[in-house]
Amino acid sequence: MPGLAFANGDFVEREVIPWNELIVSAAAMVGVFMFIIGLYSVKQNAFSPQQNPLSSAFSKMFAGLALISAGPMYAFLNNSTMSDSLNVDDRSVLSVSSSTLMGDVSSSANSWLGEHLPQATIEAIMGFVYLAGLFAFIKGLYLLKNVAGQNQSQAEGGFGRSLTHIFGGFVTMNITTFSCMIGGTLGISMMCIA
């Protein structure tokens, strides 16, 4: 099938970056609507406080703000755990670039993974893993809306489920760093794919 084997970052440029931008843009748009719904719930609280509690309205507004500012939230988490110097004010902090992803791919090509898979395949895997992590991170920010909900079922989740998605997405987006960290901690050099 033509077009499946991309070389030299073409896969990242043609497939990963547009999906990344779509996910981040959709999250910001959902965040705006969720913030507006939260504001409307505050107004509705004046008419029926039992049906529309303020805690639910504020959690929707907070989740909306978190989705709008997903990039700074990621930069805050990244700077706190890995002491990188990501600029919190930069709106493109969640953007994946082919140079960043190709750096992971080129270092992975020298690892045990590179012995078994061609570089284009590693690039595609890293792109999909990054997108899966980004989606989980954004979903965790979205799930913050359920933190203060009344009568929430186990399926809707609460703060724990939201935090699990946020942290799991963050770890997945930085899989090479965390695999090396765990491999170094356990003494298993094979786990480090970078």
Per residue in 158-180, pLDDT (tens digit) is 788 889 999 999 888 888 788 87
**Nearest-angstrom CA–CA distance, 27 and 53:** 25
pTM score: 0.79
Per residue in 83-119, pLDDT (tens digit) is 666 555 555 666 655 555 555 555 665 566 667 777 7
Cα 190 to chain center, whole Å? 26
Report the candidate in 140, 133, 114 with the shortest Cα–Cα distance to residue 174: 133
